[in-house]
Amino acid sequence: MPLLNLKSLEMRIPQTTQTAVMVIGGAEDKVHGREILRTFFNRSGANDAHIAIIPSASREPAIIGSRYIRIFEEMGAKKIENLDIRERKDCDDSYTQASLEACTGIFLTGGDQLRLCGVLAETPVMDIIRRRIKKGEITLAGTSAGAAVMGHHMIAGGGSGESPNRSLVEMATGLGFIPEVIVDQHFHNRNRMGRLVSAIASHPDRLGIGIDEDTCAMLERDGWLQVLGKGTVTIVDPSKVTHTNEPHVGATEPLTVHNLRLHILSHGDRFHLYRRTALPSEYRYSS
């Protein structure tokens, strides 16, 4: 794209909203600069933040929840609650629902994305979270398994390091906070390009987002996604695909995908989820 067009595009970008949806690739820095966690803290209200941690994906929810409680306490959050939702019936709890109605930020921890969906899907808790995201009242963050559940179609498991094929990826239904995308996490760290391409070949109406560790794709309410952290966010865009053999080959046969668009984004780069437009970091606007 010519430089002039980039500049004019930048001029049309509205200022970012305070709330956002933060999709984290896992293993985010919890010790040193804590850039991603601090951004979540700030977007949730900083010292006025009321943060609700949902560790339902973890086998040790009390332990993982207490770890994030300590981090956000050290940052100075006004109130932090660990909502230990282990079974679907816990979503009917009036205290849990009141906490989610009052909080300014919700953090979904890592673990098993199937467990997380099994506990939260189609519950009063999900109704509250969806409504408050839609109104722009909260910042939502999910790391690792908490990131995987963001799309309507979810990568539930699979292999790595192979050529794309249908057997490489196991799909399930996610929580659909960002229904247009399919997210894969620990992306380049675990060599998962093949399985994300395999997922997108089966669902060409979606956008693939592969997020490295200690990296975040932060989605603003205006549709712009911004990259934070040390790694990259890989965008797999099938909107211009001219041919794929996906419907016609066996599960273990290699996939053919022609004219697949790929973007590799690093810290400060932006991508518009609906316009499918990339904007390099030197044209970023202050947030």
Catalytic: which of 44, 56, 58, 186? 186
Residue 18: predicted pLDDT: 87
Catalytic: which of 10, 35, 162, 170? 162
| Residue at 26: amino acid letter | G
- Which residues does residue 61 pair with via DSSP β-bridges, in sequence order? none
Residue 9: predicted pLDDT: 43
pLDDT category at 283 given cuts 50, 70, 90 is low
Residue 275: predicted pLDDT: 96
User: In this model, does residue 287 exceed pLDDT 60?
Assistant: no
Q: Scan for tokens 């941690």, then name that residue.
A: 53
Long-range contacts of 62-65 (CB under 8 A, 24+ apart): 64/109, 64/110, 64/111, 65/109
Residue 276: predicted pLDDT: 96
81 tagged catalytic: no
In Å, how far are 132, 183, 218 from 140, measured between CA atoms?
Answer: 10, 15, 10
Residue 16: predicted pLDDT: 53
**Digit-coded pLDDT (tens) for 33-89:** 999 999 999 999 999 999 999 999 999 999 999 999 999 999 999 999 999 999 999
User: In this model, does residue 202 exceed pLDDT 80?
Assistant: yes
User: In this model, does residue 90 exceed pLDDT 50?
Assistant: yes
**Digit-coded pLDDT (tens) for 235-260:** 999 999 999 999 999 999 999 999 99
What mean pLDDT comes out for the span 143-159? 98
Catalytic: which of 44, 56, 58, 144? 144
Rounded to whole angstroms, how far apart are CA atoms 20 and 218? 7
What is the residue extent of each domain of the chain? 19-273
User: In this model, does residue 15 exceed pLDDT 70?
Assistant: no
pLDDT category at 282 given cuts 50, 70, 90 is confident
Rounded to whole angstroms, how far apart are CA atoms 180 and 131? 18
Instruction: Supply the Cα-derived Rg of the chain in whole angstroms.
Output: 19
- Which residues does residue 216 pair with via DSSP β-bridges, in sequence order? 24, 228
144 tagged catalytic: yes
Rounded to whole angstroms, how far apart are CA atoms 189 and 232? 10
239 tagged catalytic: no
What mean pLDDT comes out for the span 255-275? 97
DSSP annotation of 255 reads: P
Give the homologous superfamily in CATH for domain 19-273. Class I glutamine amidotransferase (GATase) domain (3.40.50.880)
